[in-house]
Structure 1
Amino acid sequence: MSSRHARMVERVERRATYTTLSAIFLAIFGAFTLRLRREREDLQLQPLDLVQLGFATYRLGRLTAYDKVAETYRAPFTETIQDQTGAGKTVVPEGMGVQRALGELVSCPICAGTWIAAALVYGLNLAPRPTRTFLAVMSSVGVAELLNAATEFMQWTGQAERKEAGS
Structure 2
Amino acid sequence: MTNLQARAAEMARAYAPHEHRPLDGYVVAMGAFGALATALAAAAKITGRPAPHRPALADVALVSIATHKLSRLIAKDAVTSPLRAPFTRYTEPAGAAELNEEVRDEGSTVRHGLGELLTCPFCLAVWVSTGLTGGLVLAPRLTRLAATALTATAVSDFLQMAYDIAKRKAEGGD
Task: Provide the residue aligned with 1:42 in structure 2.
Answer: 51
Paired residue type of 2:50 = E
Shift of 1:58: 1.1
1:124 equivalenced with 2:136 (yes/no):
yes
Inter-CA distance 71–84: structure 2 relative to 1 (3 Å threshold): closer
Q: Are 1:25 and 2:33 matched, yes or no?
A: yes
Q: Distance in 2 between matches of 1:55 and 1:84?
A: 21
Match of 1:91 in 2: 101
CA distance in 2, matches of 1:42, 1:89: 37
Structure 2: distance between partners of 1:40 and 1:79: 42
Bigger helix fraction: 1
Residues paired across the two proteins, number? 154
Matched-pair identity in %: 27
Structure 1 residue 115, shift from structure 2 partner: 0.8
Tell me if the contact between 2:43 and 2:138 (Cα under 8 Å) persists in the aligned partners: no
Check the 8 A contact 1:64/1:109 in 2, yes or no.
Answer: yes
Where 2:80 maps in the other structure, the secondary structure is helix
| Residues 49, 137 of structure 2: 8 Å contact kept | no
1:105 aligns with 2:117: yes
Structure 1's unaligned 5+ residue stretches are: none
Structure 2 gap segments, 5+ residues each: 1-9, 14-18
* Offset, 1:137: 0.8
Q: Is this contact kept in 2: 1:55–1:138, CA < 8 A?
A: yes
Question: In structure 2, what is the equivalent of residue 57 of structure 1?
Answer: 67
- SS state of the match for residue 69, structure 1? coil
Q: How far apart, in 2, do the equivalents of 1:70 and 1:107 lie? A: 11
- The whole-number CA distance in structure 2 between the counterparts of 1:137 and 1:89 is 22
Describe the shift of the 1:58–1:163 C-alpha distance in structure 2 as closer, same or farther (beyond 3 A): closer
What letter matches 2:161 in structure 1? A
TM-score between both structures, scaled by the size of structure 1 = 0.74
Q: Does the Cα contact within 8 Å between 1:77 and 1:94 map onto a contact in 2?
A: yes
Root mean square deviation, CA, Å = 3.3
Going from structure 1 to structure 2, the CA distance change for 1:95 and 1:152 (only over 3 Å counts) comes to same
For normalisation by structure 2, the TM-score amounts to 0.72
**Structure 2 residue 157 is matched with structure 1 residue 152:** no
